[in-house]
Amino acid sequence: MFDLGFWEVLIICLIGLLVLGPERMARTVRVLGRWAGKARSSFNATRREVERELRVEEIRKAGESVRRDVEQTRRAFTGAEEHVERETREARRAARLRRAEESEGGKPRGADKEQDQ
């Protein structure tokens, strides 16, 4: 964080020892260590919270993507269903016409033409 090397830390400790004395220096180092620990834990908690929010955002985006895919598939099935229904109606209509023609003359229309020739 502060990019301090060994010699810089050693000089700071020596100046602190000269200014504060050995008794107060030990207490000051403990207090500074406690503050550094609290700052580190606070930073880590914030980082975990941000990472969790990012995961939630990723999950939300994935869910939205799945929802879009499901909607596209539903539309495709609806279109296919309409096509199948239309084809089924046409096939039923053609079958009814064939049955009606066969019941009228006993044979389909095309059969009369074949016999005349």
Residue count of the chain: 117
The encoded tokens of residue 116 equal 């005349």
Q: 25 with 16: CB under 8 angstroms?
A: yes
Helix spans in the chain (H): 6-105, 109-116
Instruction: Report the distance separating Cα 70 and Cα 78, nearest Å.
Output: 12
Q: What are phi and psi of 31, to 5 degrees?
A: -65, -45
Between CA 47 and CA 65 the distance in angstroms is 27
What pTM, to 2 d.p., does this model score?
A: 0.45
Residues 12-29 have pLDDT tens digits of: 888 988 888 888 888 888
pLDDT, one tens digit per residue, over 66-100 is 999 999 988 888 888 888 899 999 999 999 998 88
In angstroms, the CA 12 to CA 6 distance is 10
